[in-house]
Structure 1
Amino acid sequence: MTGPIGHLMVGPRSHGVVRYAKSVFDAVSVESADHRLAHMRTLGAGVASGLAECALVHVHVTDRLFGRTPSQARDNVLAMIAALRRPVSVTLHDLPQPSDGRAMHARIDFFRSVARSATGVIVSSRHEASLFAEYVDASIDVEVVPLLFDTVRVDKPSASAESTVGVLGYLYPGKGHLETLQAMSDLDPSIGFMALGTPSPGHEDLADDLAKIAADMGRRCTITGFLTDDELRRASAEVTVPVAYHRHMSASGSINSWISAGRRPLVPRTAYTDELAARSPGVLTMHANDDLALRAAIESAFANPASTWIDSAVTPSPTAADVGRTHERLLRRWSA
C-alpha cells in the first residue's frame, strides 16, 4: 500500500484552473479518503506543508499561473517539482497552439519541460492530446481525462427577465467578447450584453472597449466581476442567449459552466466542440466558425429561446464520479 496522494493547488482560488483542481480533489476524495489537499497562492514561500507523507503529488499547471513569462514559469515549476522530492504528476491546461502567436515557442518550451519532469501527464481532451503530440513532445504518452460536469441544475428565470446575450469567463482578447458584442449590431438596442466574469490581469482595458462599443449601439453592457459558483449559476440561468465564441479553445471550463447551469450555449464548430458534442449529444448549439454565422445563430436563438436550454433527459459526460474514479486509478498507478 502506497502513501496518500497529495493535490497541490497553486494560484488564487478564483482562477479557473485552481477552482477546477479543487473540483477534481473533491471528486477523487469521494472514491478514497487517502488524498491530501494543499494550497499556495504563490510559490514565494516555498513548498506547501502537509505533503510530507504523500507518495505522489498532483498539480494542475498552466504557464500563466506560475510566472510572468513562460520561461519564468518553467523555472518556477521545475524548482517546485525538485523541492517536493517525490514523484509529481500534472494536468496540463491551455496547451500551446498557433493562435498563441509569438508566445507559442516559449509556451512549448514550458509545457515540454514540465511534462518531461513529471511522472504522469493528463490533458483534458483528445484535441489537447493531439496538440501535445504535434507541438510539445510526441514521445510522451498522455492520459485524456475530459473536464468534469457538475450536476446539471436548471433554474429558469421568470418571463420578465431582461433580454441579454452573455459570454462567460475571464475577459481577454480572443475569448469572443468583442466579436459577440459586434455580432449584436443588428439586434434591438434593448437587448443587453452581459460579460459574466472579470478581466484577466493586464486586460482591464477590454472592459472599457466593450462599454464604449455598447454605448455607441445604445445598448446596455454589464460586466459582473468575479462571481462565486452559486452567483455564476444564477447569472448563467438569467442570460437569454449564452455564447462561447472562443474559436481556439482546446478544452473549455466556460462551456462546462454554461452546461452545468442547464444552458445550451452557441459555440463555433471546432475540433474540441465536435469532440464534446460527440461525447455529450444535446449540450451545444454549433454554428460555423465565423462572425456571420455567430450573428445568425444569435438571431435564431432569440427566435427560439427554448433551444438555449438543455433537455432534462440529457446527462453530460463525464460526471464528477467518472473523473474521480479515473484520477484514483491513474494517480495510484503513478505513485506505485
Structure 2
Amino acid sequence: MNFDTGHLVIGPITHGVVRCAVSVHQALASIGEQHPLARLDNPDADIPTDVQQCGLVHMHVTDRLFGRTPAAAAHALRTTVRRLGRPISITLHDIPQPSDGAAMLARVEFYRQAASCAVGIAVSSGHEATLLAEHVDADLKPAIVPLMIERYPVARPAPIAERTVGVLGFLYPGKGHIETLEALRDLPPAVGFVALGAPSPGHEDLARELHAAAASSGRPCEVTGFLVDAELRARASQVTVPVAYHRHMSASGSINSWIAVRRKPLVPRTPYTEELDARSPGMVQLHDNDERALRTAIAHAVENPSSTWLDASTVPSPSPSDVALAYAELLRTWSR
C-alpha cells in the first residue's frame, strides 16, 4: 500500500524531539491520518520499505540527534536523505542562537544544510521562526505549529507539610536547575529541591553539583533520574512549586509537561513565554527574567501553593488535535 506521507524519526525515545515527533504521529492517527512511521535509534539503521515508498517523508530534526558534532550530523542527515530517495519535509528544533557560544557557527551550517534538503519547513514557535531568519537564512519562511499541550486527569494532592521546588526535564547547562536551587537561599532549609529527570549524556556532573550546593545549606535535594510518563505526571503533581527557568528557550516541552498535569509553572518573561501566554492565557506565571524576580516568585508560591494549580476546567492551546490538523494540511500541501 502506498501512502502520500511517511514519518522517519531518528534518535532515542527518551529524547524530547523524538517524543515530540512520535506524539505528532499519534495525534495525526487520532484524526484518521494513517501514515507509516519508522523510528530508528541512529541514522545508520535500515529504513523500512513502507516509509521509503511514500511520496513525502517528514522528519523532526536537531543536530544532536544525527551526530556528535554539527558537521558529522550534517553528513549523516544528507546521507539519510539520499538513502530515502524521496522528498522530505522537516520540523526544525533547537534553532541556533548566540547562547550556543563557540558552537553556534557550526550549528548554523547544519541548519542551513537541513533546510536546503527540504520541500517544507516547520518550527514550533514564532520566536524560533525569528531565530531562523536572524541566524540561519532570512529567506526561509517556515510554518509555525506550536507544541501540543496534552491534558491528563491528575488529582490535586492533599496539602503536606514538606514544601519542594521542582524543575522538570533533562539536566544540562542552561536549563536553570542551578539557578533555581540558588534562588531558594532565602527560604528555610526544609524547603527541598527536586529535579524531575536525568542528566543529559555528558552532563552527569550537574547532578553532583546540585547535591553539593544543596548539602552546603542543609537543603534536601533529589535528582530522580529518568521517569516514565506515568511516574513523571505523578511526581509533577506532588511538587509544591513548579519552575521552568530555562535560560535560552525557543520552545519548551517542559513547560507544556507542567501544564498537562494542571500545574501553573513559574517562567521568566521571554519572547517565547510571552508568545505562549498570548496564545493560551493564564497557563503560566510570568516573572521578570532575572534571579531576583525568580527568588521573589518562588517565595510567594511557596507561601501560596494554590497559585501553582490550574482550574480543572482550563483548556490549554493547542491541543493534540489542533496540532494534528495543522500538520495534516501542511503535509498535504508539501506532498503536492
- Cα deviation for residue 251 of structure 1 reads 0.2
Q: Distance in 2 between matches of 1:44 and 1:83?
A: 10
CA contact (8 A) 2:67 2:76 kept: yes
- Cα deviation for residue 127 of structure 1 reads 0.4
Q: Deviations over 1:161-181 (max 9, x none)?
A: 631000001100110000000
Q: Deviations over 1:242-266 (max 9, x none)?
A: 0000121000000000000110000
Partner of 2:280: 280
Q: Distance in 2 between matches of 1:320 and 1:205?
A: 36
Partner of 1:255: 255
Q: Distance in 1 between matches of 2:192 and 2:146?
A: 33
Partner of 1:186: 186
The CA RMSD over aligned residues, in Å, is 1.4
Number of corresponding residues: 336
1:33–1:146 CA distance, 2 compared to 1 (3 A): closer
- Cα deviation for residue 119 of structure 1 reads 1.0
Partner of 1:306: 306
Q: Deviations over 1:51-101 (max 9, x none)?
A: 133111111111111100011111111111111111111111110001111
- Cα deviation for residue 160 of structure 1 reads 2.6
Matched, 1:123 2:123: yes
1:161–1:109 CA distance, 2 compared to 1 (3 A): farther
SS at match of 1:17: helix
- Cα deviation for residue 41 of structure 1 reads 0.3
Higher mean Cα deviation, 41-50 or 95-104? Answer: 41-50
**Equivalence map 1:1-336=2 (5 Å):** 3-160=3-160, 162-336=162-336
Higher mean Cα deviation, 42-51 or 123-132? Answer: 42-51
Q: Distance in 2 between matches of 1:45 and 1:20?
A: 20
CA contact (8 A) 2:128 2:250 kept: yes
1:40–1:49 CA distance, 2 compared to 1 (3 A): farther
Question: One-letter code of the match for 1:289?
Answer: N
- Cα deviation for residue 44 of structure 1 reads 2.4
Q: Distance in 2 between matches of 1:189 and 1:183?
A: 12
CA contact (8 A) 1:241 1:302 kept: yes
Q: Deviations over 1:267-326 (max 9, x none)?
A: 000000000000011100011101111000000111211110112332111000000111
Q: Distance in 2 between matches of 1:274 and 1:70?
A: 30
SS at match of 2:14: coil
CA contact (8 A) 2:33 2:328 kept: no
Q: Distance in 1 between matches of 2:223 and 2:257?
A: 17
Q: Distance in 2 between matches of 1:33 and 1:275?
A: 29
Higher mean Cα deviation, 152-161 or 110-119? Answer: 152-161
- Cα deviation for residue 139 of structure 1 reads 1.2
Runs of 4+ aligned residues of structure 1 deviating over 4 Å after TM superposition are: none
SS at match of 2:52: coil
Give the TM-score normalised by the residue count of structure 2. 0.97
CA contact (8 A) 2:56 2:89 kept: yes
Q: Distance in 1 between matches of 2:296 and 2:182?
A: 12
CA contact (8 A) 2:28 2:34 kept: no
- Cα deviation for residue 152 of structure 1 reads 4.4
Give the TM-score normalised by the residue count of structure 1. 0.97
Question: One-letter code of the match for 1:138?
Answer: A
SS at match of 2:39: strand
Q: Deviations over 1:181-201 (max 9, x none)?
A: 000111111111000000011
Q: Distance in 1 between matches of 2:11 and 2:50?
A: 17
- Cα deviation for residue 141 of structure 1 reads 1.6
CA contact (8 A) 2:4 2:335 kept: no
List runs of 5+ in structure 1 lacking aligned partners: none
Question: One-letter code of the match for 2:233?
Answer: R
Give the share of equivalent positions with the same residue, in percent.
56
